[in-house]
A and B are shown apart, each in its own frame.
Chain A
């Protein structure tokens, strides 16, 4: 049994002992995961509101008029792949032999996240052009609150990633930056889990029952 698994205390890829990696960072990561779980509750309640609002269109456009499953498929593929690539970035962070791959994987993740946001915003604009604005009905308010909040998380995560890329360039991969990168990876994986809920419940169930 190696020391790495004994130290493991948080979700995500754990850096193994001997990297000069301190227990303090482990605690910070676990704390960040606690914070993510409170974010899960927030998302979950918006899901509950959305479910009760399915069909409450007040004569306005519903899922059948507004959803574009081609765009949804592209968004799902982009976000899913980005969850894998940020995993590869943390993999590069952990293993010294692959360390040079860290920045390229982060850039790929950033590009995929940007692509996701591009398609999502295009979707929102097309929906608005078809009369599907948030103020039109309770259903659309709930839709934009939930999907928009997820998109906002992705956008904030992208800004965070840019900041960390700058920190990597300026400071190099010192411990504090490594710890921040691991926390960003947790957020990113978490957002992919939320997206699974969104495309199944918001889009597919909305389509079935709307």
Chain B
């Protein structure tokens, strides 16, 4: 019985990495396809790429780092969520404030 359990665990670990790899390849290929195909407008492309990117980060966390909804990985999940919260406040704040400033000052820094 114990041996059977171990084999099942082994298979599920292996499956996790293989599925993670398959999903990552598909999502990366889709992102390159979207940017190189130039089939959408600029805003749509940005949103589509953002969604693909976030999905891929989720795949990495779920299948490679094994962070899922289970109780045992909750501490890790909280740590990640808190770090991401701090990060988002700083990143969105920076981009917002500096973008607004550039807009109000009428700055064109490309020359």
Residues in chain A within 8 A of chain B (CB atoms):
2, 4-14, 16, 30, 33-34, 37-38, 40-41, 44-45, 47-49, 51-52, 55-59, 62, 69, 73, 76-77, 80-81, 83-84, 87-88, 91, 94-95, 97-98, 138, 186, 189, 192-193, 196-197, 199-201, 204-205, 207-209
CB nearest neighbor in B for A95: B10
In Å, the complex CA distance between A138 and B66 comes to: 39
Residue contact A11 to B109, C-beta cutoff 8 Å:
no
In Å, the complex CA distance between A69 and B9 comes to: 40
In Å, the complex CA distance between A201 and B50 comes to: 8
- The residue from B32, B53, B70 contacting A196, defined by CB atoms under 8 A apart: B53
Q: How many residues of B contact A (CB 8 A)?
A: 53
Chain A residues, CB < 8 A from B45: 204, 208
In Å, the complex CA distance between A138 and B13 comes to: 45
Residue contact A80 to B28, C-beta cutoff 8 Å:
yes
In Å, the complex CA distance between A80 and B98 comes to: 33
15 additional A-B pairs beyond A94-B13, A205-B46, beta carbons within 8 Å, are A34-B79, A44-B90, A51-B95, A52-B95, A52-B102, A59-B111, A73-B32, A80-B24, A80-B25, A83-B60, A84-B24, A87-B17, A97-B10, A205-B49, A208-B45
In Å, the complex CA distance between A143 and B19 comes to: 32
In Å, the complex CA distance between A204 and B20 comes to: 23
- The residue from A48, A88, A193 contacting B61, defined by CB atoms under 8 A apart: A193
27 contacts across the A-B interface (CB closer than 8 A): A4-B9, A10-B76, A11-B65, A11-B67, A12-B66, A16-B9, A41-B83, A49-B94, A51-B91, A55-B109, A56-B109, A59-B110, A62-B110, A69-B32, A69-B36, A80-B24, A80-B28, A83-B24, A84-B64, A88-B17, A98-B10, A186-B65, A189-B65, A192-B60, A196-B57, A197-B53, A200-B52
Chain B residues, CB < 8 A from A45: 90-91, 94
Residue contact B28 to A204, C-beta cutoff 8 Å:
no
* CB of B104 within 8 Å of the partner chain: no
CB nearest neighbor in B for A196: B56
**Per-residue CB proximity of B67-111 to A under 8 Å, as 1/0?**
100101101100110011011001100110011001000000111
Residue contact B98 to A91, C-beta cutoff 8 Å:
no
Chain A residues, CB < 8 A from B17: 84, 87-88, 91
In Å, the complex CA distance between A9 and B102 comes to: 45
In Å, the complex CA distance between A196 and B87 comes to: 16
Residue contact B61 to A37, C-beta cutoff 8 Å:
no
8 closest Cβ contacts across the A-B interface? Answer: A8-B72, A56-B109, A44-B87, A37-B83, A200-B53, A48-B94, A11-B65, A84-B21
Chain A residues, CB < 8 A from B94: 45, 48-49, 51-52
**Chain A's nearest CB lies how many Å from the CB of B13?**
6
- The residue from B13, B52, B67, B72 contacting A6, defined by CB atoms under 8 A apart: B72
